[in-house]
Structure 1
Amino acid sequence: MKSFPAAFRLEPKAPPNLVEISLPGSKSYTNRALLLAALADGESTLTNALFSDDTERMVECLNALGIRVEADRAGKVLKVRGQGVPTVSPSEPLYCGNAGTAIRFLAPFCAFGPGEVILTGNERMRQRPIRDLLDGIRQVGGEAVDLEGTGCPPIRVKGGGLSGGLCRIEGSRSSQYFSALLLSAARMEQGLTLAVEGELVSKPYIDMTLSILERFGVYAANSEYRRLHVPPGQEPKAIDYEVEGDASAASYFLAAAAVTGKTVRVGPLPEDTCQGDRGFVRVLAEMGCGWRQVGDRVELTGGTLRGVEADLNAMSDTAQTLAVVALFAEGPTTIRNIANTRIKETDRIAALHQELEKLGAVVEEFPDGLRIHPKKVYTPAGIETYDDHRMAMSFAVAGSRI
């Protein structure tokens, strides 16, 4: 795995008037595709795949479970020899680092294996809740427990299969619990019906899961995000799959154009993508930027920015990026309905509050968001990233102006 320096120094530099960016593959789609390819029987080829900590953790774990994955980093290709189920019970715990999609998607998958599997991660992962997913696995006939009684990893999942049926999960904490069960649902004897308790967060990620299930030949129904149903008698098909560009990654380049007044063109990012983070373009347009769709690329030009009020529940991974853009707007920006980001790679609301104030901004923190009051002049500072790549990328945008 590639290593980086402990710190990067960023200084403002005038960018070209137009910058073209080819986006890496979507992390969310890459890890979903890896899991579905493992559940299929046969070889799948993933092109434009993302190679990152999260996807490499997934690849390592699948190999340890007996699913052969061949990686061509230079060509951005992953070849997966699916076995339908895990064929090996690893003697050592599977280490997922801080990869939320990896540990959550793998947990139900491991229940189809021949024996017991322990999944764990780094210090932050061992603080991230997973109890709702473990309860969901038990509701559909599996055995899964957290080993330290904290509701967080490490967890132990016993093999033997999942019967499926009705499963009720609270919707306000993480859509990944729902996606994890949906991805493995086709292998459940009775299929799966997920009943959402309360309001479901991050709905576009469910759309992404349902769309990629369809690509792999699995039908699923969505009843207004209240019930999600995968009928029995299906199985994923081995396919060739091209991963879309990452809309979350696009947000940083779009933000850089917004705060510098320049133009950026990013893609591939089709207009009909299910990725909710593409909606970040509309937020920047509301702030004063101009944009247009050019084929499968998004072109955005920065303008005079004004503060906005933004509900980012459907695209919470862009909250840090918007918070940095808000530093250079006229008037305050309020970001709400992102309480679920407190249990991501770090408590992102608290981390933003801390680091924005280092630069000199005035920040109000709420349970579900924050308000940023911009200033005319900021103070360069060392920014703590909390082992969260989105903190690093977002504050790199600030480095283009401060």
Structure 2
Amino acid sequence: MIEIKPVEHIDAVVTIPGSKSITQRALITAALADGASTLHGPLVSEDTDYSSAALQQMGIDIDKGTQSWRVSGTGGRISEPDNDIYLGNNGTATRFLTSVASLGTGEFIIDGDVRMRERPIGPLMAALKGWGVDIESIDDTGCPPLSIIASGLRGGKTVLPEGKSSQYLSSLLLVAPYAERQAELQVDGEIISKPYVAMTLEVMATFGVEVGAAADFSRFTIPGGCYLPCDYHIEGDASNASYFWAAAAVSGGSVTVNNVPVLSLQGDTMLVPLLARMGCRVEQQGRGIKVVGPQTLESITADMGDMPDVVPTLAVVAAFAEGASEISNIAHLRVKECDRLSATTSELRKLGVAVDEFDDRMIIHGR
């Protein structure tokens, strides 16, 4: 049993590990670049370990130091692996590496754990087929394990039949410069988590590929080319930072996260303005963000479609607010590593918080 004792006051400055989302994207672009790149401050985690191990199976040399990784890109040349590529329950890596495998020659099997085999990937498969990729769900479920008989990307126009997962879209964008013909991508339906798509475009631009995008991200034109190697600095992870900002909010204390900038690539930093709406004081502090909690938190109504990873954080803060808070547009939480909407509701109820759960929203009744 672990005993957790409440603190009376928080006044802290913290440095957060690197962003997982940026690390995954920078790792892919560096692996596809023509030459060696150095990633400074990457996140070391199970997910990034799976990604880097899979890339090594595909012929990419990655030298991991304590503070940086040196990635020797192969200019888009992907080797056939000796064994199946196993990615656990890492949805981002599964979606990204599926497209990377399509650039190679030979057979690639992409697999994961029991939960990953329940997570859909059909829309990504459909879009890749539009670019000439021979890809199938081995169990015919629209989920991993996947078989890819790779011979490169044909390019031209393809359609992503839904935008409910920004990871599908980011996966396609990351590999599109290596298509035989200039690639065009159309997205049907509402696009969820647009900040993650913007992040992908920014990382691609830093590595030398500028993508033409419609303002609503429904259409993209991706020029052919090759990523340029570079030194890339990865900012702190905003999802991790959210817990520290939340601690300040619920305790009336002060926390500065000194390596997540105001002008961040990460959509999850938009939690900070929401905390301000609930009564927190927010300040830029050097290269970071400071949050000071109020005496009384106010309830909030928030559309969290673009920042699903900080929904649990906001839900906890809402439990300490006066009145009822509504968090909406979060149906996509149900197809994450677990059903995060149900899990958040369940854990809050265990702590005595009244929560109403719906298909795509939740209402938290604060104190």
Q: How high is the TM-score relative to the length of structure 1? A: 0.88
Kept in 2, the 8 Å contact 1:67–1:86? The answer is no
Kept in 2, the 8 Å contact 1:247–1:278? The answer is yes
2:330 is aligned with 1:374: no
2:158 is aligned with 1:162: no
User: What does residue 65 of structure 1 align with?
Assistant: 58
Alignment equivalent of 1:38, drawn from 7, 19, 31: 31
- What letter matches 2:267 in structure 1? G
2:232 is aligned with 1:274: no
Map 1:337-376 to 2 at 5 A. 337-375=329-367
Q: Which 10-residue stretch deviates more, 161-170 or 14-23?
A: 14-23
Alignment equivalent of 2:121, drawn from 121, 130, 135: 130
- What letter matches 2:59 in structure 1? G
2:299 is aligned with 1:307: yes
**Equivalents in 1 of 2:9, 2:24: separation in Å?**
34
Secondary structure of the residue that 1:360 maps to in structure 2?
A: coil
CA deviation vs aligned residue, 1:76-111 (integer Å, no higher than 9, x gap): x11111112354322321111111111111111101
**Equivalents in 1 of 2:194, 2:5: separation in Å?**
37
Map 1:1-400 to 2 at 5 A. 9-14=2-7, 17-72=10-65, 74-75=66-67, 77-224=68-215, 225-232=217-224, 234-303=225-294, 304-375=296-367
Kept in 1, the 8 Å contact 2:163–2:187? The answer is no
**Equivalents in 2 of 1:330, 1:347: separation in Å?**
27
CA deviation vs aligned residue, 1:188-219 (integer Å, no higher than 9, x gap): 11222221211110000010000000000001
Secondary structure of the residue that 2:35 maps to in structure 1?
A: strand
CA deviation vs aligned residue, 1:47-67 (integer Å, no higher than 9, x gap): 011101111100110111111
Q: Which 10-residue stretch deviates more, 81-90 or 218-227?
A: 81-90
Q: How high is the TM-score relative to the length of structure 2? A: 0.96
Kindly state the Cα deviation for residue 170 of structure 1 after the two structures are TM-superposed: 3.2
CA deviation vs aligned residue, 1:349-393 (integer Å, no higher than 9, x gap): 111122211111221111112111134xxxxxxxxxxxxxxxxxx
- What letter matches 2:270 in structure 1? G
Q: Which 10-residue stretch deviates more, 207-216 or 271-280?
A: 271-280
- What letter matches 1:205 in structure 2? Y
- What letter matches 2:348 in structure 1? L
- What letter matches 1:47 in structure 2? H
CA deviation vs aligned residue, 1:312-354 (integer Å, no higher than 9, x gap): 1111111011111111111011100111111111111111122
Kept in 2, the 8 Å contact 1:40–1:236? The answer is yes
Kept in 1, the 8 Å contact 2:164–2:190? The answer is no
Secondary structure of the residue that 2:25 maps to in structure 1?
A: helix
Kept in 2, the 8 Å contact 1:182–1:192? The answer is no
Secondary structure of the residue that 1:159 maps to in structure 2?
A: strand
**Equivalents in 2 of 1:164, 1:366: separation in Å?**
41
Kept in 2, the 8 Å contact 1:172–1:340? The answer is no
- What letter matches 2:176 in structure 1? A
Percent of aligned positions that are identical: 42
CA deviation vs aligned residue, 1:164-187 (integer Å, no higher than 9, x gap): 121211344201000001000110
Q: Which 10-residue stretch deviates more, 175-184 or 91-100?
A: 91-100
**Equivalents in 1 of 2:273, 2:116: separation in Å?**
32
Change (3 A) 1:88 1:10: farther
Q: Structure 2: give runs of 5+ residues left out of the alignment.
A: none
Total equivalences in the alignment: 365
Kept in 2, the 8 Å contact 1:171–1:201? The answer is no
TM-align CA RMSD: 1.4
**Equivalents in 2 of 1:191, 1:268: separation in Å?**
37
**Equivalents in 2 of 1:22, 1:116: separation in Å?**
42
